[in-house]
Amino acid sequence: MAAIELAGLRKTYPGGVTALDSVGLSIADGEFFALLGPSGCGKTTLLRTVAGLEAADGGAVRIGGEDVTALPPGRRDVAMVFQDYALFPHMTVSDNIAYPLRIKKVGGAERRAKAAETAGALGLGALLGRRPGELSGGQQQRVALARAMAVRPRAFLLDEPLSNLDARLRLEARTFLKRLQRELRVTCVFVTHDQAEALALADRIAVLEAGRVRQTGTPVEVFRRPANTFVASFIGSTPMNLLDGVVAEDGRVLVGGVPLPAGPHGLAAGERVTFAVRPEYVGLRGTPAPGALPGRVTVVEHLGSTRLVTLDGEAGPVRAVVDEDAPLPAGGTGWVVPRPERVLLYGADGGLITASSSPPSAGEAAAKDR
Ligand SMILES: Nc1ncnc2c1ncn2[C@@H]1O[C@H](COP(=O)(O)OP(=O)(O)OP(=O)(O)O)[C@@H](O)[C@H]1O
C-alpha cells in the first residue's frame, strides 16, 4: 500500500495534443480516488503515466515516497486493470490469475495456491477451470481484478473497469468494488467519465478538463460546492441551472429582472455573476411569489420517483426536479423558487465566489493553487 504523489505532470502527444497540462495530485495511502472528466480530457493518459506505460514530458510520479518517474512499469509495483479486461482467451481463469506470478517466476504450486485464494476472495472459486469465453461480463471483470490482486501491488489503477457491463451488473459490480477496496484498504485510482459512478465510489475525486485539474474534493464537496462553472455543469445527474445575473443594490441578484436572494457574497452592486442552483434545490409553484422565477413549462421528463420540469423564462431555460406525483402548474406557467442556502454565485472568470465570512474549503483552495 502506498500514497501516490503527482507533481507538474506534462504530456503532449506527437500530433500536438496536450493531454496533461501540469497535473499535480496527492492521493493518500488506502484512498479510493477517481479521475473524472469528459472524453479526451486526459484521464487515461494520466493513469498510464502513473503506471509507467506512458512517459511524461515533465514532472514527477512518486509512489510510496519513491520517485518512480524513470522506472519501467514492471518495477513500479502497481497493477492496472483495463477497460476490456485483456484476459487471455486460451487460458483458464486459474492460469489468467496466476499469469503475473508466472512472470515474476513464482513456482507452480505457490502460483496455483495464490490464484485459488484470490479467486475465492472474489467469489470465483467455482470457475477456476473455465475460460474467459465461458464467463459473464461481471465474472470477467472479477477475474481481471483477481489477476491484479494476486501480486499484492502497492496500488490498483483501474481504467473504466465497469464500462463494459450492462446497467444492472454495473451497479452490482460497483458495490462489490467498493466493498473490496474497503476490505483491502489498497490505494486505488480509477478512471471514469461517469460522474454518478465517481460520486458513488470515490473517497475523493479529481475533475479534469483539457489536461488540467479543475477541482479535487470529496464527492460531497464537488457536488455541493463546485469550484467553477465547468465542474458545476459536469457534476450532477441533472444539469445545474446556470443563469446570468447582476448584483442589485440590496445584495440580491437580478435574474431575468427578478430579484433573488443569494446569501452573503460581498460583491458590489452592478457586478455580473452566474447564479447557480441545482434543479433538486428549487421548488415549483403554480402562483407568483417574491423570489420566484416565472417560466412556461416546455418539457417534463420522468426520472422514476421524480420528474424533471424545464421552464422557459426571461433568464433562459430553468429546470426543477419535483416529486413524481406533485401537481404541475395549471395553465402552463410555473414559478421556480431557489433555496437561498443552496445558491452559488460564480464570477466572470467562472470561479466560485465565496463571501469573506466563509473561507474556501480545502478542495477549492487546492483548485485555485493550480
Ligand atoms: N497515442 C496518442 N497520440 C496522439 N494523441 C493521443 C494519443 N492518445 C490520446 N491522445 C489524445 O490526448 C487527449 C487525451 O486522451 P485520453 O485518452 O487520455 O483521454 P480520456 O480522458 O481518457 O478520454 P476517454 O474518456 O475518451 O477515454 C485526447 O485529445 C486524445 O485524442
Give backbone dihedrals phi and psi of 261, rounded to 5 degrees, phi first. -70, 145
Per-residue pLDDT, 141: 84
Rounded mean pLDDT of 193-207? 93
| Atom 24, ligand 1: residue with shortest CA distance | 39
Locate all alpha helices (DSSP H) within the chain, ordered by sequence.
43-51, 93-103, 108-121, 137-150, 167-184, 195-201, 219-224, 229-234, 362-369
Please indicate, yes or no, whether residues 209 and 235 belong to a single structural domain of this protein: no
Provide the 3-class DSSP secondary structure of residue 24.
Answer: strand
Is position 12 within any domain? yes
Give Cβ neighbours of residue 114 (< 8 Å, ≥ 6 apart).
Answer: 98, 101, 106, 150
Please indicate, yes or no, whether residues 285 and 183 belong to a single structural domain of this protein: no
Please indicate, yes or no, whether residues 192 and 237 belong to a single structural domain of this protein: no
If one compares 183 and 259, the residue with the highest pLDDT of the two is 259
Q: Is 42 in the pocket of ligand 1 (CB under 6 A)?
A: yes
Domain that holds residue 331: 230-362
Residue 363 has pLDDT above 60, yes or no: no
Please indicate, yes or no, whether residues 240 and 212 belong to a single structural domain of this protein: no
Q: Which atom of ligand 1 is nearest to 211's Cα?
A: 14
Per-residue pLDDT, 356: 52
Q: Is 271 left (phi over 0), alpha (psi -120 to 50) or beta?
A: beta
Please indicate, yes or no, whether residues 151 and 296 belong to a single structural domain of this protein: no
For 153-197, what is each residue's pLDDT tens digit?
899 999 987 877 777 777 877 887 888 888 888 899 999 988 989
CA angle at residue 24 from 19 to 26, to 5 degrees?
A: 130
Contact call for residues 297 and 311 (beta carbons, < 8 A) = yes
Please indicate, yes or no, whether residues 203 and 306 belong to a single structural domain of this protein: no
The CATH number given to whatever domain includes residue 334 is 2.40.50.140
Treating both helix axes as pointing N-terminal to C-terminal, what angle do 137-150 and 167-184 enclose, rounded to 10 degrees? 20
64 CA to centre of ligand 1 in angstroms? 27
Is position 369 within any domain? no
DSSP string, 273-332: EEEEE-GGGEEEESS--TT-EEEEEEEEEE-SSEEEEEEEETTEEEEEEEETTSPPPGGG
Residue 347 has pLDDT above 90, yes or no: yes
| CA–CA dist 331, 152 (Å, integer) | 64
Please indicate, yes or no, whether residues 245 and 349 belong to a single structural domain of this protein: yes
pLDDT tier at 358 (50, 70, 90 boundaries)? very low
Is position 152 within any domain? yes
Is position 275 within any domain? yes
Q: Which atom of ligand 1 is nearest to 45's Cα?
A: 18
Q: From the CB of residue 328, how many other CB atoms can be counted at a distance below 10 Å?
A: 13
Rounded mean pLDDT of 332-354? 93
| Boundary residue ending a domain (227, 261, 278) | 227
Residue 364 has pLDDT above 70, yes or no: no
Q: Is 211 in the pocket of ligand 1 (CB under 6 A)?
A: no
For 104-139, what is each residue's pLDDT tens digit?
888 888 888 888 888 887 788 899 999 999 998 888
53 CA to centre of ligand 1 in angstroms? 14
Please indicate, yes or no, whether residues 60 and 203 belong to a single structural domain of this protein: yes
Contact call for residues 296 and 332 (beta carbons, < 8 A) = yes
| Boundary residue ending a domain (211, 227, 243) | 227
44 CA to centre of ligand 1 in angstroms? 7
Q: Which atom of ligand 1 is nearest to 159's Cα?
A: 22
Q: From the CB of residue 77, how many other CB atoms can be counted at a distance below 10 Å?
A: 17
85 CA to centre of ligand 1 in angstroms? 19
| Atom 12, ligand 1: residue with shortest CA distance | 19
Compute CA 315 distance to the chain's CA centroid, rounded to the nearest angstrom: 30
For 11-29, what is each residue's pLDDT tens digit?
999 999 999 999 999 999 9
Is position 357 within any domain? yes
Please indicate, yes or no, whether residues 192 and 251 belong to a single structural domain of this protein: no
Please indicate, yes or no, whether residues 321 and 339 belong to a single structural domain of this protein: yes
| CA–CA dist 158, 78 (Å, integer) | 11
Treating both helix axes as pointing N-terminal to C-terminal, what angle do 93-103 and 108-121 enclose, rounded to 10 degrees? 130
Contact call for residues 115 and 101 (beta carbons, < 8 A) = yes
Per-residue pLDDT, 157: 93
- β-pairing, 293-302 vs 333-338, is antiparallel
| Atom 1, ligand 1: residue with shortest CA distance | 13
Query: Grid coordinates representing 277?
Result: 442552483
Residue 50 has pLDDT above 60, yes or no: yes
Is position 126 within any domain? yes
**Closest listed residue to residue 355, CA positions, set 267, 265, 250, 263:** 265
Q: Is 88 in the pocket of ligand 1 (CB under 6 A)?
A: no
pLDDT > 90: what percent of the chain? 62
Is position 72 within any domain? yes
| Boundary residue ending a domain (201, 227, 253) | 227
Please indicate, yes or no, whether residues 327 and 352 belong to a single structural domain of this protein: yes
Per-residue pLDDT, 124: 84
Q: Is 55 in the pocket of ligand 1 (CB under 6 A)?
A: no
Please indicate, yes or no, whether residues 277 and 288 belong to a single structural domain of this protein: yes
Is position 370 within any domain? no
Task: Return the minimum-mean-pLDDT range out of 210-219, 279-288, 360-369.
Answer: 360-369
Residue 267 has pLDDT above 60, yes or no: yes
Q: From the CB of residue 348, how many other CB atoms can be counted at a distance below 10 Å?
A: 9
Averaged pLDDT of the chain: 89
For 274-333, what is each residue's pLDDT tens digit?
999 999 999 999 999 999 999 999 999 998 899 999 999 998 999 999 998 888 887 789
| CA–CA dist 34, 342 (Å, integer) | 25
356 CA to centre of ligand 1 in angstroms? 40
**Closest listed residue to residue 336, CA positions, set 248, 233, 255, 232:** 255
pLDDT tier at 357 (50, 70, 90 boundaries)? very low
- Indicate the number of domains in the chain: 2
Q: Is 49 in the pocket of ligand 1 (CB under 6 A)?
A: no
Output b/e per residue, 213-239; b: 16+ Cβ within 10 A.
bbbbbbbebbbebbbbbbbbebbbebe
Contact call for residues 322 and 284 (beta carbons, < 8 A) = yes
Residue 221 has pLDDT above 90, yes or no: yes
pTM: 0.87
pLDDT tier at 205 (50, 70, 90 boundaries)? very high
Contact call for residues 245 and 275 (beta carbons, < 8 A) = yes
pLDDT tier at 355 (50, 70, 90 boundaries)? low
